[in-house]
Amino acid sequence: MSNVEAEPAAVRCGAPAGGERPAPQPRVEVLPPRDVPLGGPRAMTVRRTLPQRARTLIGAWCFADHYGPDDVAGTGGMDVAPHPHTGLQTVSWLFSGEIEHRDSLGSHAWVRPGELNLMTGGHGICHSEVSTPRTTVLHGVQLWVALPEEHRNTGRDFQHHVPEPAVVDGAEIRVFLGSLAGHTSPVRTFTPLLGAEILLPPHATLTLAVDPDFEHGLLVDQGQVRLAGTPLRPAELGCPAPGTDTLTLVNESGDAARTVLLGGTPFEEEIVMWWNFIGRDHEDIARAREEWQNSSDRFGAVEGYPGERLPAPALPNATIMPRGNPPRR
């Protein structure tokens, strides 16, 4: 999915400067979402929890949009014209509906509930995303992963995977990246990551062993969930304190609850993120924007999309400056 904000924020992400002593940390940091319209007079609104001032990264996860359930008859659904990416992987995961994906690698695929589509746009790629005519309700998440310096100019790639559901203490878990509850995804990533959908039955409690070297974030899609004793409302992202080796989730409602668990080792490199580009400094971003505007071969072309590609917004009238995760209080 493209970040189609008219004035996208410039973000340089990374660990706090060396020597800072972090303040005492809460057991779970709760990140509220902000609403972002995806353009047009009948814009579909997404709820964005990453990046924001309180936190810009969870491991290498650097972008999280949560959308729906969206009545396509009223909004027109999703129609994101061809747009570029650099220095990242896109992770598409649906709860309902269907999206047609086309990219400059030549991939033509569908995003369906319970099926992972992961696209790598290292040096450069472009793609389009359109909800299909048979979609009535569109509902899911769009996530980005920052690529480390060693791999940020890697070639284009596209992977599709359908994880088998695992049942643990009555909960249904689908591990689409990394390992959890004895299940491992075969999908390749460039840093250690975790991504899993977790369905909790009414009034269920689930305790999971997790890697204490990972940062974690739990995004609540539906239901009233407690994470390590902290209540989370739908669309909120809960981040437990570092060093956690178990996570306990409690569904406090009489209906099923759905969450998405993200994790990864701390991403120590500083990165700059603006629009759909991830680089290491302002010049990286400016160069990528210029090459996209000039139809450079760097990004290729999407075949089969019936329309024009997205133009890049204007760069901010200043050098993009660094910003990292503030110390947690």
What whole-number distance in Å separates Cα of residue 143 and Cα of residue 160? 15
Kindly report the length of the chain. Answer: 329
- Cα 68 to chain centroid, rounded: 15
pLDDT at 298: 98
Residue 18, C-beta contacts closer than 8 angstroms, at least 6 positions apart? none
Which pLDDT belongs to residue 24?
Answer: 43
Q: Which residue in 105, 180, 195, 76 sits closest to 141, CA to CA? A: 195
Our CA angle for 314, 119, 67, nearest 5°, is 70
Tokens of residue 111, six digits:
């995003």
CA pair distance 112, 90, nearest whole angstrom: 15
- The amino acid present at 10, given as its one-letter code, is A
Containing 100, the helix (H) or strand (E) segment is strand 99-103
- Quick one: pLDDT at residue 15? 46
The gap between the terminal CA atoms of the chain, to the nearest Å, is 32
Distance in angstroms (rounded) separating the CA atoms of residues 124 and 113:
27
The reported pTM is 0.90
What pLDDT does residue 26 have? Answer: 53
Computed from CA positions of residues 129, 124, 151, 328, in that sequence, does the dihedral angle turn out positive or negative?
A: negative
CA distance 66 to 68: 7
| Helix/strand/coil for 285 | helix
Ordered by where they begin, the domains of the chain are 11-293 (2.60.120.10)
Can you give the pLDDT at residue 198? 98
> What does pLDDT average to in each consecutive run of 10 residues of the chain (329 residues)?
62 48 64 82 79 90 95 89 97 98 97 98 97 96 97 97 96 98 96 98 97 97 96 97 94 96 94 93 96 97 96 92 58
The Cβ of residue 181 has, within 10 Å, a number of other Cβ atoms equal to 18
**250 vs 221: CA distance, rounded Å:** 14
Neighbours of 110 (CB within 10 A): 13
Distance from chain centroid for Cα 30: 17
